[in-house]
Each structure stands twice: as structure tokens, then as C-alpha cells.
Chain A
């Protein structure tokens, strides 16, 4: 094989990889472009303060859906973040190598791959059927289930980066293990843990499937956590698949708001809280 051929082949393959990268990015700009273009033209103040209007009427908004999403994400975070962080502490601080922690780690990885609609089914049969109604609580719970493995993974990684000498310094001062973990190890890894938590929040904020039969949706304000609750993704889904032009417009506007939320969370998590020190 001569050198000329090899160099030619090298160039060709490298071009192929660059081409693949360009192809991969086309849909990103395609989706973002359309969402921004169609969303901006439909977005106005009414969108943020009004309730949905009846079919075909202009001027409806998604105020209740935005509020619903915030509430359910809050419930999910209140449950998922502490549980995830505590489990991660066990995996790094108490028991790194036993069969139990390997099993937990493996289950965590596998859980992140379970389709989110499965979580919806499980919460429906376990919570909605038992309580007798759809609710923000059930919706928040299903988002929490999706969040937990994500939080465990990211927190564990951050805790592993904390150097052993910091822990040993704590022990050497006679500080108890619990205090060393809570007062020294966690704060050291705090930035990374917050980053992971924000990414997990961004991920569940856009989830639709698990909310379909847990929170269901609502055309009005929900007065308690125990009522069917609207959410931005479910509302977008319902409007997008409806036959009305006005609703399609609202779906684009909703998508723009949702994407802005998710991308802002991603950017803030990555750049504001990123630390290279640990």
C-alpha cells in the first residue's frame, strides 16, 4: 500500500467524521430555529397570566401550566435531591466496594435507562388508584423517581473527587465521621452537587410521559396539591395534537418557554457552578 493512498484515505475518513458532526447539529438548529421563530410570534404577556381559553378562542395562556410545572418540579426536588444525595454518601463514604454498593450502583445505572412512561404507569397503579384521583403529588412523585438515579450518579461522582486527605484531616482532629461528611466533605463538593441537581431538574422539567396519568392536566387553577394539575409539557402535547390554529401557536410559545427554562438551567449549572478546584 503506498503512502499516497494512505494519506488520501486518512483525509477522507477525517472528512467523514466532520460531516457526521455537522449532520448531527442540523436538527438542533432546525428545532431551535423553528421554536424561536414560531414561539416568539405567539408569545405575549397574556401567555404568562391567562388561563387556557376554550377551543379556537384567541388570547389564552398557560399560567396554570407554568405554575403546575414549577410546583411538581419542586415536589420532585424536595424528595429526589435529599434521597439521592444520602444514597450517594453511602456509596462513597461508608461502603465503596461491597457487593451491596456495586448492586446499588448498577441498579442506579439501569434505572436511568427505564422509560419514563413506565414510571407513570407504576405511580398510577400505586398512588393514583389508591388515592382515587390524579394529583400534583402523584406527578411530583413520578418526577422524583426519575430524578433519584440522576442525583445519585452525579453526587457520587463529585464526592469521589474530594481528596482523602481532607477526610483524614477531619478524623485527625477528632471530628466524628458524620460531622466530617456533613461539614467538610459535602461543602467541598457542593458546587458539583448543585450542578448535578440542576441538570436533573432541567431533565425532569421537560418530562411529559410520566405526568400524563399522574398529574393528568387541568384547564383551570388547581386549588390543592391533591387535584389534577396542568403542566407545561402536557399542555404542549395536548395543544400540538389538537386541530386548532390558536392552540398550535400556544404550543410553540409553550415550547419556547420550556426550552428557555431547560437551556438556562443547563448553562447556569455548567458555567456558574462549575468548579475546577476539586
Chain B
């Protein structure tokens, strides 16, 4: 081999190495840059309102009054409602797929559950407007009011568009995330554990309870947190069904607003700088919350199913 040939190949090596390194580092840069961009754009609002931004419940752009509390409230209530519904069902799906189903059945049902995640958010929203909300208004909400009306959560006029609709649609949308990650961490439980439990005479449920769930517990928690993260930031479907009114009302039937929804609706209408800046600050809060949530969720998932194993984690 001539000297020149060696030189060029090593140059090619260096180029590819540097190029890939650059792209890898760009992910870190991208994340930091996103945070900085938002902080920078939110600065006027942060300086003007300080902490009162998140405790003030009045949002009135005409009077330059910006309080994010109604949006934080709407986001939290709908997301928690979604979690309450989706976590047990998602876990049930994961147990069914991982521990019970035959492999052919598992592939089909697993695919269908993943399809739930593939349906675009805006399509869920469309369905929410024309199918879910009318159904809630005419059937579900009057029924809930009749039987559980003594609880403030279920009082008030059935509107259809409100926090209940938002929470339900979010539950559908985060279910695949929770199911997929719970499945992944349960698949990482060594079979020896299961066999040991069965050998001691455990029934299938006892095996799941004593051998699988404890082992996968922290990973499942991580999956649930990732689901929560998705719910907090989910925009379109919620915007379309939550009713878009910045009020803080106890009833789940009442129209409300979420952080992502107010950004989606008002961003292009923000007529002056402070208004835009206030919207960006809401985005920044959302960014911060989801960042922290994802950070800890990933730590938990990694602790069970380490690193980039097991594919379609959403």
C-alpha cells in the first residue's frame, strides 16, 4: 500500500468520525438551544410578572393581564384524569400481551395498540368534537350527574366540551405509551423468576404479582411518568375538546383551557410583544415540566431495561 493511500483512508476515517461526532453533539446543543431560545423570548414576561405569573388566575390580553394559573389547572386536571384511567388499563394490556397472549395473538393485538399511538392527534380531536363530546353531553354527563352529582366534580350543566372530554381523549392517547413501556420492562424480567414462582406452585396471577411486577415496578412507574409527560404536552386533541375558557371550576363538565391549547390558539393572534412573551413563558413552563418528568422517567426505565434496548418506545 502506498503512503498516499494510507493517508487518504485515514483522512476519510477522520472525516466520518468528526462528522458523526458533530451530529451526536448537535443533539445536546439542540436541547440547550431550545431552552435558551424560549427563555430569551419569555424574558420580558418573566421580568414583568415574576412569580405572580403562575399564581394569577386572570388572563386578559386586552388589559395586559397575564396569569397562567387557569391553564396550569386545566392541564393538571385533564392529565391526572387521563393517568387515572390509562395507567391501570395500559398496565392490564401490557400484562395481557406479555404474560398471557399466544404469540400470534400478541403480534396482532400489540400492533393494534401501537396503532392507537399512530393516529394523529388532530384526528382524535375531530372525533372528539363530533363523536365524543356529543356522547358525553347527552349520555355520560347526565348519568354521572344523576348518580354521582353529590360530588362537586360531577355537577353543573353537561356541555360535552370540557375537562372530562379532554381527560378521556388524553387517556386514549397515552395508553399506548404506558402499555409499550410496561411491556418492555416486563419483557426484561428474567424468565427464571417466573419459573421459580411457578415451580413453587403459584398460579399465573400470583406469578405476575410476586415475580414480574415487583421486578418491573420502577420501569412501570417510568412508563406512567412518560405517559404523564405526553398528556401534559399534548396539544391538538385537547385544544379541540376542552372548551377553551380560562376559568378554574371544580366541575369536570366545565369548559377549561390547557397550557398547550392556549399557545396553539393565541400564538398567531398575539398582537403585541408582551402577549407573545407571556405565551412563550407558558411554553417554557411546559418545557421545564416535561424535561424534568422525562429525565426521571428515563432514569427509572433505564434502571430496569437498560439503555437503548427494546424498540418502539414512543
Contacts and interface: CB of A to CB of B under 8 A. Distances in A.
Q: Which of B23, B92, B116 has the most CB of A within 10 A?
A: B23
Which label, helix, strand, loop or mixed, suits the secondary structure of the A interface?
helix
A264 to B, nearest CB: 11
Q: Which 10 A-B pairs have the closest CB atoms?
A: A115-B233, A20-B92, A206-B120, A90-B20, A113-B294, A10-B203, A176-B9, A86-B23, A87-B23, A90-B24
Given A20-B96, A31-B127, A90-B24, A213 B89 contact: no
Given A28-B113, A32-B119, A248-B130, 20 more contacts: A17-B96, A21-B97, A24-B93, A27-B116, A86-B20, A94-B21, A100-B24, A107-B28, A113-B230, A117-B264, A120-B267, A125-B280, A178-B16, A206-B120, A208-B122, A213-B268, A240-B130, A255-B122, A266-B114, A270-B111
Interface of A: 6-7, 9-10, 13-14, 16-21, 23-25, 27-28, 30-32, 34-35, 38, 83-84, 86-87, 89-91, 93-95, 100-101, 103-122, 124-126, 145, 148-149, 152-154, 156-157, 160, 174, 176-179, 181-182, 199, 202-203, 205-209, 212-213, 216, 233, 236-237, 240-241, 248, 251-252, 255, 258-259, 262-263, 266, 270
Nearest to B204: A10
Contacts of B20: 86-87, 89-90, 93-94
Contact of B206 (A10, A91, A108, A119): A10
A156 B33 CA distance: 24
Contacts of B254: none
B2 to A, nearest CB: 13
A156 B308 CA distance: 8
Question: Of A9, A112, A202, A270, which is in contact with the most chain B CB atoms at under 10 Å from its CB?
Answer: A112
Interface of B: 1, 9-10, 12-13, 15-17, 19-28, 30-31, 33-34, 37-38, 40-41, 88-93, 95-97, 100, 109, 111-116, 118-127, 129-131, 172, 175, 179, 203-206, 208, 226, 229-230, 232-236, 240, 260, 263-264, 267-268, 279-280, 283, 286-287, 290-291, 293-295, 297-298, 307-309, 311-314
Contacts of A181: 16
Contact of A178 (B13, B23, B30, B206): B13
A209 B113 contact: no
B127 to A, nearest CB: 5
B295 A110 contact: yes
A98 to B, nearest CB: 11
B120 A233 contact: yes
B123 A14 contact: no
Given A27-B172, A89-B20, A263 B113 contact: no
B235 A115 contact: yes
Contacts of A153: 308, 313
A9 B90 contact: no
A125 B37 contact: yes
Contact of B27 (A118, A148, A205): A148
A52 to B, nearest CB: 16
Contact of A252 (B13, B113, B120, B126): B126
A61 B188 CA distance: 49
Contacts of B175: 24
B37 A24 contact: no
22 contacts: A17-B92, A17-B100, A21-B96, A27-B172, A30-B131, A31-B127, A35-B123, A35-B126, A94-B20, A106-B295, A109-B294, A114-B290, A121-B41, A121-B279, A176-B13, A177-B16, A206-B118, A206-B123, A252-B126, A258-B122, A258-B123, A266-B118
Contacts of A262: 118-120
A23 B93 CA distance: 9
A11 to B, nearest CB: 8
Contacts of B97: 21
B205 A14 contact: yes
A236 B123 contact: yes
Contacts of B203: 6-7, 9-10
A240 B122 contact: yes
Given A118-B233, A240-B129, A113 B226 contact: yes
A273 B9 CA distance: 33
A25 B24 contact: no
Contact of A28 (B115, B131, B279, B311): B115
Contact of A122 (B25, B34, B88, B205): B34
